[in-house]
Amino acid sequence: MTATDPVTAFDADAAWRVHPRVAVRPEPFGALLYHFDTRRLTFLKDPRLLTVVRALDGAGDARGACAAAGIAAPEQPRYLAALARLAEAAMIVPGRTP
């Protein structure tokens, strides 16, 4: 998948991973994500969201990544919405790392 591929609609019940052309830099406030193809910079302003993003590759789906990161079910909609925005920006893409 490249930066010019059409955006895939976010499905919380599907597997996701960080785009291979995205660098993740942890910061005290959360993290910086930089997409080398689009040159887009995204701030994760919640360290727990960084934990969810890191858990994506090992989880079967986005909900599983939230659970693995310790996000309780009542809090998950907020994190899933953030993941949907990351998918829209092509920071995360469908599937697991090959």
| pLDDT at residue 35, rounded to an integer | 98
pLDDT over 90 (residue 5): no
Residue 96 forms part of a structural domain: no
Percent of the chain scoring above 90 in pLDDT: 86
Residues 42, 58: Cα–Cα separation, whole Å: 22
**Residue 4: what pLDDT?**
47
- Distance, in Å, from the CA atom of 69 to the CA atom of 94, rounded to the nearest integer, reads 19
The domain tally of the chain equals 1
Inside any domain, residue 87: yes
Helices 47-55 and 76-88, packing angle to 10 deg: 70
pLDDT tens profile 8-53: 689 999 999 999 999 999 999 999 999 999 999 999 999 999 999 9
The answer, yes or no, to whether residue 7 has pLDDT greater than 50, is: yes
67 touches 80 (CB < 8 A): no
In-domain check, residue 8: no
Residue 24 belongs to domain spanning? 16-91
pTM: 0.88
